Amino acid sequence: MSAYYTHSNLARRTHDPSLLDTAPLPYPAPPCARPATLDAISPASLEAVSWPRPIQSSEALLHGIPLGVTFEQTRRLLLDKDAGSVLPRCKVVVIWCENTLWEMVGAAWAVEKVYKRCEAAGQVGRRLEVVEMPGANHFVRLYFP
């Protein structure tokens, strides 16, 4: 199923999460002009970029981590100067997709907001770049020539 949210230009311009599209998607989803990524990608290409073992084993455990632990790991990754001294030229890039769920967009904006506030106070350890991917849902297929 391919479903796309339509977040307003005002929401995207102001980064105001209250303006994001939170309407439930209809079921069944209306026909979509764009094919689902899983329908458009060849089995060989999917196999080349997929590794199911982590999903079947340890990655599932990540969903049980308390939010406080996740928040602390994120804080250290971006704001801890000692952590930032390791691989100092390494930056963090948050990619959010224009047509994805409001929670994903709002989370990207929240991370960016906290980072900018800390950056202004000189309290960051690593560079952060937040990028919008136009026309994409939450499952992105990238092409490299």
Which three-class secondary structure state does DSSP give residue 22? Answer: coil
Q: What is the pLDDT of residue 15?
A: 94
Instruction: Return the closest-CA partner of residue 127 out of 96, 90, 81, 75.
Output: 90
Instruction: Return the closest-CA partner of residue 38 out of 135, 139, 136.
Output: 139
Instruction: Return the closest-CA partner of residue 93 out of 136, 65, 133.
Output: 133
Q: What is the pLDDT of residue 143?
A: 52
Degrees, nearest 5: CA angle 44-48-49: 125
d(CA 25, CA 4): 8
- H/E element holding 96? strand 92-97
d(CA 27, CA 45): 29
**Cis peptide bond upstream of 26, omega within 30:** no
Q: What is the pLDDT of residue 60?
A: 65
Which three-class secondary structure state does DSSP give residue 43? Answer: helix
Q: Which residue has tokens 């996740």?
A: 70
Task: Kindly list the averaged pLDDT for each block of 10 residues, start to end, along the chain of length 145.
Answer: 80 94 78 72 82 69 82 91 91 90 91 95 94 80 52
